[in-house]
Amino acid sequence: MALFNAKNSAFIAIMAALGNILAVLSINVAPIANGVAMDLSHIATFIAAVFGGPWIGAIVGFSGAIYPGYYFGFLNPTGTLGFLSLVGIPLGKALTGLMAGLLYRGLKINGSSRPSSYAVPVILLSYIPECLFTIVYFLYLVVPVVGQGMAFMLPIILPKAWIEIIMMSFLMGALVGNVGFRDFVARYLSPKP
């Protein structure tokens, strides 16, 4: 399958736009505290990874995180991370998209009789690389560059992120189990080899 044919490129663009729209809505509508906000942009990442594969998931994860990277880099009222955020957040989200696609394809969940029940643990497992990346990113990039004042964010960000991922894993379980949704998405992707 050609990764950048017209259908896949359109699907990537639609999913990246959806990711950024979900980020704008969730970050601005559901701020939590201390500059932390809900970020539901991974819904698009997971749809792309599950239905398009690991590379499409990684591309959508990265490009669908432009707004969160920009917001937490330059607009966050409690302190900004600048370009560290504009690069770090998309890279972390790309890792999740890549891992979700690899796990989903590697375990051949699309061919299983109960794809919904397998989608939840796969989505949860796919976040582990981004979680580890976030820890390294904060401890070895953010704190040395921005200062110790940002160290308090890590124990707030990680539990919030896991809550989001848990919610999205159940949403993905429902979407993967829905034949109509699967058929709808399949129309936007190139045929599999």
Evaluate whether residue 72 is within a structural domain.
Answer: yes
Evaluate whether residue 1 is within a structural domain.
Answer: no
Q: Which residue has the higher pLDDT, 157 or 81?
A: 157
Instruction: Give me the residue label for tokens 């704190």.
Output: 143
- In percent, the amount of the chain with pLDDT more than 90 equals 49
Provide the pLDDT confidence category of residue 193 given band limits of 50, 70 and 90: very low
Evaluate whether residue 136 is within a structural domain.
Answer: yes
Evaluate whether residue 193 is within a structural domain.
Answer: no
Cα–Cα distance for residue pair 182/3, rounded to 1 Å: 19
Query: pLDDT digits over 44-102, tens only?
Result: 999 999 999 999 999 999 999 999 999 888 887 666 778 888 899 999 999 999 999 99
Asked whether the predicted pLDDT for residue 191 surpasses 60, the reply is no
Please work out, in degrees rounded to the nearest 5, the angle formed at the alpha carbon of residue 124 by the alpha carbons of 118 and 172. Answer: 55
Q: What is the pLDDT of residue 60?
A: 97
Evaluate whether residue 107 is within a structural domain.
Answer: yes
Record the tokens describing residue 97, joined without a space. 């998209």
User: For the residues 10-18, what does the mean pLDDT come to?
Assistant: 94
Whole-structure pTM value: 0.89
User: Within 10 A of 4 (CB to CB), how many other CB atoms are there?
Assistant: 10
Number of domains in the chain: 1
CATH number at residue 150: 1.10.1760.20
Evaluate whether residue 191 is within a structural domain.
Answer: no
Question: Which residues form the domain of 12?
Answer: 6-186
Query: pLDDT digits over 117-127, tens only?
Result: 889 999 999 99
